[in-house]
Amino acid sequence: MSRRPILVDCDTGIDDALALAYLLAEPAVEIVGVTTVSGNTDAARAAANTLSLFELAGVDDIPVAVGAHDFRGRAYAGGAPHVHGDDGIGGIALAAAARVHDARPAVELIDHLAARHPDLTVLALGPLTNLAAYAETPAAAAFERLVVMGGAFAHSGNVTAWAEANIHNDPEAAAVVFAQEWDTTLVPLDVTMSQTMDATDLVRLDAIAGALPRALAAMLPFYLDFYAGRVFADRRCALHDPLAAMVAAGVLRGVSVSSGQVEVRLERGERGRTVSSRGSSTQRWVRGMEGSAVEVLLERLESREWPD
- Cα 30 from chain centroid? 17
Rounded CA gap, 10 and 110, in Å?
A: 13
Choose the catalytic residue: 11, 42, 190, 241.
Answer: 11
Is 69 one of the catalytic residues?
no
Q: Which of 35, 38, 40, 184 binds ligand BDR (CB under 6 A)?
A: 40
Choose the catalytic residue: 101, 170, 240, 241.
Answer: 240
Residue 36 interface partner, choices ligand BDR, Ca ion, none, CB cut-off 5-8 Å depending on type: none
Is 11 one of the catalytic residues?
yes
Determine which helix (DSSP H) or strand (DSSP E) holds 227, and give its type and residue range.
helix 211-227
Rounded CA gap, 123 and 282, in Å?
A: 28
Residue in the shown chain whose Cβ atom is closest to ligand BDR = 165
Rounded CA gap, 143 and 7, in Å?
A: 10
Find the shortest distance in angstroms from Cβ 307 to ligand BDR. Answer: 30
Q: Which of 26, 102, 170, 241 binds ligand BDR (CB under 6 A)?
A: 241
Q: Where does this chain touch ligand BDR (CB under 6 A) — which range of 138-146, 164-172, 178-186, 252-260?
A: 164-172
The DSSP line for 244-298 is: HHHHHTTSEEESSEEEE-EEE--STTTTT-EEETT--TT-----S--S--EEEE-
Residues in the site for Ca ion, rule: CB under 5 A? 11, 13, 16, 125-126, 241
Find the shortest distance in angstroms from Cβ 127 to ligand BDR. Answer: 9
Binding string, 103-122, against ligand BDR, x = CB under 6 A?
Answer: --------------------
Question: Taking Cα atoms as reference points, which of 64, 93, 271 lies closest to residue 170?
Answer: 271
Whether residue 152 contacts residue 274, with contact meaning beta carbons closer than 8 Å, is answered with yes
Q: Which is nearer to Ca ion, 51 or 261 (CB)?
A: 51
What phi-psi label fits residue 198: left (phi over 0), alpha (psi between -120 and 50 degrees) or beta? Answer: beta
Q: Where does this chain touch ligand BDR (CB under 6 A) — which range of 9-17, 94-102, 132-140, 258-266?
A: 9-17
Q: Is 125 in the site for ligand BDR (CB under 6 A)?
A: yes
Rg (CA), the chain: 18
Handedness of CA 16, 41, 129, 287 (dihedral sign): positive
Q: Is 13 in the site for ligand BDR (CB under 6 A)?
A: yes
Find the shortest distance in angstroms from Cβ 158 to ligand BDR. Answer: 5
Determine which helix (DSSP H) or strand (DSSP E) holds 44, and give its type and residue range.
helix 43-56
Tell me the catalytic residues: 11, 240
What residues make contact with ligand BDR under the rule CB under 6 A? 13, 15-16, 39-40, 80, 83, 125-126, 149, 158, 164-166, 240-241
